[in-house]
Structure 1
């Protein structure tokens, strides 16, 4: 399942998630068994069911004379709980455990960085905070003009291309259920297509939905159409970006024989009219797209 969209001009900020952490409470040589039991060397992503099962083990161990020894004795059962994870989040985005590769889970989803379809230059948003007490002539700061803080934030406003894909077959292998897999794929599509970056959202108000959504169901391989924007488009950006995207998909399908099994298009306005060529003019709404994606994925997985 390949998903791509064009987002109309807006300020865009990217938040960087924390991937791991280490306890700073004590030096390693000073740790006791109880200290180590309370610390984690990295984040471990699990499903709610696994958290509940592990919590039950911890509660049981807390009632024994030596909780640490009890936990160590349950190591095999704990590892089995973690390795049998059926969480949709973990199945989609994977998990890496550096010191025990048996607990690793390969991701079934890939999400590319958003890129601008046109040439952009960073802009600067200058801000300042005024100390009213100083501005009004406080006794201790009589000569101060009142600026308590100042700085700047870089941003850009552009039409962006976003891309993601989900391997439905591998996702079914992880989840072990056709209906759960189909629901997971449709939920991922819904979330990806309506998500808005939250970084600095109160500063820039980037609440913009895509002008164009193209979803391809392929039985060949994942295909990112980012090459359509190797040459930046010129105004009107959405119109020319749509035309470039459509040309790229048609050229690749013809050259490599990878025509999608099915394509869905959701679009807004006349600037995205070129995308009608991908679906013979049969565009749809996001609600119908999500529902049809779920039905189609379930049908194909059942047939396989």
Structure 2
């Protein structure tokens, strides 16, 4: 591996989702996008990144998981009191505020006057969500504890505590802080908005609910309403810049562990919108993972001409995906370093045959292992 070589991990997913509303807009409608001249179902990148971060809890230690919150003062104060139970809440909150301000981040204080039956209250929060690792929260709390014990809060130390020991989520998805740009973290992972490979139109479910305790002489429903939903086969894509991930985490082994968690989490997660209404959780039908050194390559153009199918759209989409991947690399004189493909939909087996010359057919565990092994080999050469 040369000094200028890069390593990108591209993840391409085809996934069929039954009637659902996993990501809705401000009117309650499933999100959409126009692509190739037709309306597609869409799931925002933020929705799937949140679902992936939630999945991390099953695969990573608590110390490696980040928190995204405006209640940073509250979290630092809680940790100060965890370090020393003799410190009261008010002192911990005031000290946490001063520690956070030392990093350059503004803290907003909102006070509510006492009303009948409710005491006066005060909340302290940042003006936007901030990504922090639990290790960073603990480091800031230790500075706060030192301040309570008479030490001066050093701004450089506060910034260092805020920047060191990034969580895997922060290292992957980045952090932007308008008040203090020097605390920003450039994301090493990009996630596209998932779009349906075909034209998709929303439908409405008109529902009624019966009041179990209604008098016998009342025949009407206790409640009526509508809920909007859509069915789709989605193309999902994400890419990771391995070198930037190492830089953000400060460790090659931590980066490899992060990639393993992300690949697994991205594939098996799903946003939770309206899941109790639709029980729509599915798993991908086809997954193509490619380790590249030229550039990340989104293959959405394979579906600019929408898939039209009398039966299942996923097998046709699988053929489009692999043929487009092969054609692009042939025309641009490029090739992935290594590829693996998971085919869970039996109807798609024949469609993916052309790419099996370069992509190893794998189970989920084998696909994750291939990615980790390839990354370990390439990082070793740096």
TM alignment of 1:1-304, pairs within 5 A:
1-12=9-20, 13-14=22-23, 25-26=110-111, 38-62=124-148, 73-136=153-216, 147-235=221-309, 236-268=312-344, 269-280=346-357, 282-304=360-382
- 130 and 80 in structure 1: CA distance in 2 versus 1, 3 angstrom threshold: same
How far 1:146 sits from its partner (Å)? Answer: 5.2
Counterpart secondary structure, 1:80: helix
Q: Is the 8 A contact 1:129 1:149 kept in 2?
A: yes
Contact preservation (8 Å) 2:323, 2:355: no
| Pairwise CA distance, 1:135 | 4.5
> How many residues of Structure 1 are paired with residues of Structure 2 in the alignment?
285
Q: CA deviation at 1:189?
A: 0.5
Q: CA deviation at 1:23?
A: 6.1
Indicate if the aligned counterparts of 2:17 and 2:280 stay in contact, CA closer than 8 A.
no
Corresponding position of 1:32: none
Please, which runs of 5 or more residues in structure 2 have no aligned partner?
Answer: 1-8, 25-45, 51-67, 71-106, 113-121
Deviation at 1:241, TM superposition (A): 0.5
Match of 2:79 in 1: none
SS in structure 2 of the partner of residue 210 of structure 1: coil
Measure, in 1, the Cα distance between the counterparts of 2:318 and 2:127. 46
CA RMSD of aligned residues (A): 2.7
TM-score of the aligned structures, taking structure 1 as reference length: 0.84
Question: How far apart, in 2, do the equivalents of 1:257 and 1:294 lie?
Answer: 26
Q: Aligned equivalents of 1:127 and 1:77: distance in 2? A: 58
Q: 1:257 to 1:204 in 2, by over 3 A?
A: same
- Displacement of 1:162 in angstroms is 0.6
TM-score by length of structure 2 reads 0.68
Aligned mates of 2:109, 2:195 — CA distance in 1? 37
Whose strand fraction is larger, Structure 1's or Structure 2's?
2
CA contact (8 A) 2:173 2:188 kept: yes
C-alpha change, 1:257 and 1:301, in structure 2 (3 Å) is: same
Q: What SS does the aligned partner of 1:159 have?
A: strand
